[in-house]
Structure 1
Amino acid sequence: MSIDHSKFMTDLPADDLDKLRTISDSWADGVKTNLMEQIRRGHDELRRIQTAQQSTRTQIEAVKAQHQSLKSERDSKAQKLEKEWLAKQAEVEELRGHIDSLKAQMVNSVEQSRSLDPQIDSLEKELLQKQNDVKMQKGVNTVLQSKYQSLLGLRIEAMEEEDELQFFMNNIDASDYDREVSFVLTLHDDYCVKNCNPKVPKEEVDGIISELKSSHEFGSFLKQMRSLLKSRI
């Protein structure tokens, strides 16, 4: 069953109708005011949210900028470190090349030294031999110029070989003063006695030669050879 409000409204007294209208208007104003307040609060909340979003966006941009700055700084440091590392590597390679060059020079020097060792040894032997030859020649000259030449009946002849001398000595045999004993002395490389007349034991000759090599006393050598040859007559 529906109620006819218009009939109800017309049935009300004028005062009640005014009161009802006043109440209705007051309620409508309250609803409107409440709605407006809610709308205002909604706008305020929206502005707050927008402000917060803007602040967040600003913070994000700041973080991005800081991140980009840190990234650029990191990349710059990385590039600097890489350049320094490459420079150090270049220095290491240069030093390594220098060391390898020095090693090669050292090896080459050692090889050259080793290759020169035989020549040095040969030159030392040659020098020693020449020194010995000089001493021997001085000894021969001394003997030739001394009284031993006449007392020992000494006579020296050069052989066909350049470094060989043949020695003759007499006044040995009491029954025959003209009888000669002889031997050949080789001066090349090393002293050597051969062709002894009369023949004598090799080990005894070697002993006399060994003493000559150490002392280079040629006069003593001739005396010992004379005594050795005389003992075999």
Structure 2
Amino acid sequence: MTSSFEPSLSTSGMRPPLASADAPSMADSLPSINFGFEDLRNTMAQFTVKFDAFIERGRKRVLEERNQFHINLAEYEEDERMRQRDIEILNLKSQTHEQTLQKEAAEAAEMHAAISSITLERDSRLAKRDRLKQQIAETQKAISQKVEAQKSHTQHLDAQARLNFPELEFWQDYLCIRIEGAGREDRLKFVYSHLLEKDWEAEAWFELGTASRDYEVFHTRPKVDRDSLEHVVDLVNDDRDFGAFLKRIRKLFVEAMN
């Protein structure tokens, strides 16, 4: 079944009744609600104060930490400079110590070299002293032996002279010889005269060495043949016939002067 729409009915049915001037408003009829805006404002204000204080404290702490950092950095840099200075001082001391050690080592080496040189010189002088002592001892021994030999030879000559004195006088007269000193104890000078018939005053002489058992002729005037003289000396040293020796020497002088 179809119902018909009537606008008047629908509009009038949904429209509220008109209010009069004395009727209460809808807002007055709403319930009263307390949102706490004042408490919220106070809470926000307290939070803002606390937050500002927190920020201030943080800022101060950051400033203090920054200042402390700069202070610590300055102290660190100062410590670093001090350490660097200490290192430089230690390096300087180390260099000075090294130079001192090198100088002492050089002085020690020089001293050791000087000691070695002195030791070598001392050893050389000691060796030289020992050689000189040995040479002196040998020389003294040789002198003593020579003195003893000279004494023995002198005694022998004295004995022979005593035995041959009459014979020597004979040969002096027979050969016209005179015997002189030659300026030394171990030499005699034999001077001949009457060698030349045309000049009886002309003289000739020779020096005879008597230091050892064997005779030795050192000088003659005039000079005679050397080989002949050595032969005559060898003969007298062999046969010990002094008279024959004087005769042979006279003959050499006569040959040299003619």
TM-score under structure 1 length normalisation: 0.49
TM-score relative to the length of structure 2: 0.45
Bigger relative contact order, structure 1 or 2, given CA contacts below 8 A and separation 6+? 1
